[in-house]
Amino acid sequence: MSPSHQLPKNYDIEEVERRWQSTWRDEDNYFDPSSPEPRFIIDTPPPYPTGNFHIGNALNWCYIDFIARYKRMRGYNVMFPQGWDCHGLPTEVKVEETHGITKNDVSRETFREMCRDLTLGNIEKMRATMRRLGFSIDWSNEYITMLPDYYRKTQASFLQMLKAGDIYQSEHPVNFCSRCETAIAFAEVNYASRTTQLNYFDFDGIEIATTRPELLAACVAVAVHPEDERYAWLRGKKLSVPIFGHDVPVIEDPAVDPSFGSGAVMVCTFGDKTDVYWWKEHNLDLRKAIDRKGVMTGIAGPYAGMTSEACREAILADMKRAGILKRQEEIEQRVGTCWRCKTPIEILSERQWFVRVHHDDVLEAARKITWIPEHMFTRMENWVNSMEWDWCISRQRIFATPIPVWFCTTCGGMVLPAEEELPIDPTVDKPRHPCPNCGGNEFAGEKDVLDTWMDSSISVLHVTGWDGSNKKPPYFPAQLRPQGHDIIRTWAFYTILRAKALVGSHPWEQILINGMVLGEDGFKMSKSRSNIISPETIIDQYGADAFRQWGAGGAATGSDIMFNWNDVVAASRFQTKLWNIFRFVMGHLERGADPAAPVTELSDRWLLVRLSGTVAEVTAAMEGYQFDRALKAVREFTWNTLADDYIEIVKGRLYEDDEEGRASACSALRTTMDVLCRLLAPIIPHFSEECYHTLTGRSVHKETWPEFEYTDEDAQRQGNLLVKTVAELRRYKHDHGMALNAPLGHVTIYTPEPLDDAGDAGRALVADLHWVTGTPQLEEVVTGVEFNMAVIGPTLRGLARGFMEAVKALPPEALKNPPATVTVDGKEIPVPPGAFTPKITYRVGGEDVDLLTPGDLVVTIGRKP
């Protein structure tokens, strides 16, 4: 039976992908702790379980899976774990929406339970998408940060850093979102531009401009530049705050910009970061005018209880009434907003927990890591150098890791659990022993919880086998951290900081930064632009492998990548092409050929030289995580070298009865398909498996990476001549209106060296074709003449016809070397330059031939009589 009947004509993506996904076993991707092979541990990002594994995640995971599969084939003991970073506000908000409650309507534990249920359901949905994309995740190393096994370690890490003095509690200004009612870290503040009013008003005799009149009650000083002569008379004076009447000092500080507004500014606690700086620098009072809910406090007097917006309007109205509001102008302002809900943040002084930022330690550790691409290190460096405050890690929320601390109500001392008691919830659990300080038995549990980044910043410690102690985990550091550039200042920064603080070293050998996926319109995907495309939409139409191939080829690793349906279609078309090649090859292999037969013929050896070069290129690209370069090399080899050049040349020999010639071609093709499947296995795992399994009966994912090297300089040089010649002759046929399978007759190719193509070129061109060494004995024969009427017409006019007759009558030699004059009607007339060219044909051994001269070669084609 012909084998091409066994393989379906069309590659059924859905059927093939589903079949292999249900055949592959999770166990095959497990990290093996007892393996002697070198480890390759990946600190995979734990996504936030929204229930929606979006296209940006999918691209990132494609890269990780390419690497994991490649490294396994290179013999590494790979760990590709999967975590879930569960805690945080978005889930709380979703639970409130879904159940129609607020977090205060039920007990903390009930609310957490609702959050956990929602999260588990979402994780299940995202796992399903990951499986459909064919990711070779090590599910035995899955972790879920909201479960006790993980957050026990978060709590242990907190206690360790607390004891080491790297975590402390303090009243300090922090960024606060009054909508979310929690402190947030600087990394969670986004900046937005908005237009606002700059209000000029009379402040006890001097003019002051402010965008935040509602903070007047919180005014603690008026600041001027020390060299601003306009205000020299104010030195050492006090001013009375309008409306509120309390006195504030006038301070001088070089940070004041004399050209902004009137050059005098009011300092409030706190309008912005500069206020915090002045407040510290000049040891000013603290007046809290806004509370955690964004409502005016008692010190705002008549405005107490108003929202800050209402207070602003009321104060402006009162200023107008009092005649102190002089003028208002519009200005553009950069405002810090909450990353989550976009509410403008307030800076409030709060009792919070902080992680000490040791800038030099973080940078020193970051420098030991290889950043790919390299320039991403600069982003980290800039961020670290711009940090002025420590990391605020306490949050006033519920669904998060509890801060494992009690306070003794008798003496106020801090009481900590022993490590083996962890995890605890100090609002529920009680200390096992009386207060070590005073023997008291009454305790208040810390209600604040930890920033989610406190969970995820120890992911690398968790996956490298950390037990929660200050001992270095057994597999630490990990080999690779893959992540997006949008979380360099959070996840990357916090992880480096924590690894350095907890185990004293840098967390990974390499960090690979991936870009974002933009919509087809070139903009960030967002609901408001309706340019979101889900991975499922793409898989449904073109399959997981086409999606993965799009991910590999779409852009250089690290660059943003614009989604484009055409690229997915092209990926799918490449698979169709490769499937057709594969069917063709299988057809010939199954007709019978000795798999151990040597590769003897020129074009077969040439193919293997090219394949060897492709393997080197793809290997170098994979080593550098340049997946686009790897894919391009495979595509070019498959499409140009294999399909367009080689198969067209060798086809005829495959159908011949010459056993040796067939066997050589079959061996070359078998090797080529075997190697191609393995090169493509990391990128298109289903397709490669389908082909490889058909070819060998084994799984390509258990094979090693091809280390195929084949050098044959003669084959390379002569094969290039052969390919070039066949291409030239095919073009010749095309130019002469001949079908490609039309017979070409007698062809002789004169080469500088002897060349044996096993009859391939002759069969490919349907020609009686001979390779001959040396140069042909060409005879030039003038067979006619071609006139250039554009020259003859205007110069000779009435004499043109007579001139042409005279030229035709010239002997052939004279046509090649035109005389200066010819005789027309008995008159000698000059021959205009370029008036005619002789028609020359060539003759070899008495046969009329056409001549082609590609490169060093001379090709003669016998002309049919």
| Residues making up the chain, counted from first to last | 865
Q: Which stretch binds Zn ion (CB under 5 A): 51-59, 360-368, 409-417, 829-837?
A: 409-417
Cα(644)–Cα(632) distance, integer angstroms = 16
CB of 183 to Zn ion, least distance (A): 11
In the set 344, 440, 587, 862, which binds Zn ion (CB under 5 A)?
440
Beta-ladder partners of 195: 332
In the set 297, 307, 349, 410, which binds Zn ion (CB under 5 A)?
410
Nearer to Zn ion, 11 or 176 (CB): 176
Nearer to Zn ion, 408 or 634 (CB): 408
CB of 487 to Zn ion, least distance (A): 18
E-only strand ranges, 471-516? 478-484, 508-514
Q: Which stretch binds Zn ion (CB under 5 A): 381-389, 440-448, 480-488, 495-503?
A: 440-448
CB of 97 to Zn ion, least distance (A): 15
CB of 40 to Zn ion, least distance (A): 39
Kindly identify the residues of this chain, within the stretch 88-127, that bind Zn ion according to CB under 5 A: none
Phi, psi for residue 680 in degrees, rounded to 5 = -90, -10
Q: DSSP class of residue 236? A: T
In the set 255, 317, 411, 428, which binds Zn ion (CB under 5 A)?
411
Nearer to Zn ion, 373 or 440 (CB): 440
For Zn ion, what does the binding mask look like between residues 364 and 403, x meaning CB under 5 A?
A: ----------------------------------------
For Zn ion, what does the binding mask look like between residues 572 and 611, x meaning CB under 5 A?
A: ----------------------------------------
Residue 418 to residues 152, 157, 413, 424, 669, Cα–Cα distance (Å): 12, 13, 16, 10, 66
CB of 435 to Zn ion, least distance (A): 3
In the set 355, 408, 512, 513, which binds Zn ion (CB under 5 A)?
408
Contact indicator for 221, 196 with CB cutoff of 8 Å: no
Cα(744)–Cα(81) distance, integer angstroms = 62
Cα(560)–Cα(524) distance, integer angstroms = 10
Q: Which burial class, exposed, middle or buried, applies to 349 when counting CB atoms under 10 A from its CB (0-12, 13-18, 19+)?
A: middle
Total residues interacting with Zn ion, rule: CB under 5 A: 15
Spell 793-815 as b/e; 16+ CB within 10 A means b: eebbeeebebbbebbeebeeeeb
In the set 110, 437, 526, 576, which binds Zn ion (CB under 5 A)?
437
Nearer to Zn ion, 128 or 438 (CB): 438
Kindly identify the residues of this chain, within the stretch 763-822, that bind Zn ion according to CB under 5 A: none
Q: E strand or H helix at 149, and its extent?
A: helix 148-163
CB of 535 to Zn ion, least distance (A): 29
Nearer to Zn ion, 411 or 740 (CB): 411
Kindly identify the residues of this chain, within the stretch 171-190, that bind Zn ion according to CB under 5 A: 177, 179-180
Measured N-to-C along each axis, helices 659-680 and 685-696 cross at an angle, to the nearest 10 degrees, of 150
CB of 185 to Zn ion, least distance (A): 13
Nearer to Zn ion, 89 or 721 (CB): 89
Residue identified by tokens 């030991």 is 368
Contact indicator for 320, 213 with CB cutoff of 8 Å: no
Phi-psi label, residue 558: left if phi above 0, alpha if psi -120 to 50, beta otherwise:
left
Cα(177)–Cα(189) distance, integer angstroms = 10
Q: Which stretch binds Zn ion (CB under 5 A): 92-100, 117-125, 435-443, 634-642?
A: 435-443
CA dihedral 149, 154, 156, 161 (to 10 degrees): 170
Contact indicator for 138, 29 with CB cutoff of 8 Å: yes
Kindly identify the residues of this chain, within the stretch 333-352, that bind Zn ion according to CB under 5 A: 338, 340-341, 343
Q: Which burial class, exposed, middle or buried, applies to 633 when counting CB atoms under 10 A from its CB (0-12, 13-18, 19+)?
A: buried
In the set 249, 413, 745, 832, which binds Zn ion (CB under 5 A)?
413
Contacts (Cβ under 8 Å, ≥6 apart) of 646: 603, 606, 607
CB of 336 to Zn ion, least distance (A): 11
Phi, psi for residue 433 in degrees, rounded to 5 = -130, 160
- Among residues 640, 592, 593, the alpha carbon closest in space to that of 614 is found at 640
Q: DSSP class of residue 344? A: B
Q: Which stretch binds Zn ion (CB under 5 A): 167-175, 261-269, 429-437, 708-716?
A: 429-437
What string of H, E and C letters represents the secondary structure of 529-543?
HCCCCCHHHHHHHHH
CB of 125 to Zn ion, least distance (A): 26
CB of 437 to Zn ion, least distance (A): 4
Answer yes or no whether residue 434 interacts with Zn ion by CB under 5 A. Answer: no
CB of 127 to Zn ion, least distance (A): 29
In the set 164, 192, 255, 438, which binds Zn ion (CB under 5 A)?
438
Nearer to Zn ion, 340 or 472 (CB): 340
Q: Which stretch binds Zn ion (CB under 5 A): 46-54, 330-338, 374-382, 493-501?
A: 330-338
Q: Which stretch binds Zn ion (CB under 5 A): 3-11, 405-413, 601-609, 723-731?
A: 405-413
Nearer to Zn ion, 411 or 742 (CB): 411
Site of interaction with Zn ion (CB under 5 A): 177, 179-180, 338, 340-341, 343, 408, 410-411, 413, 435, 437-438, 440
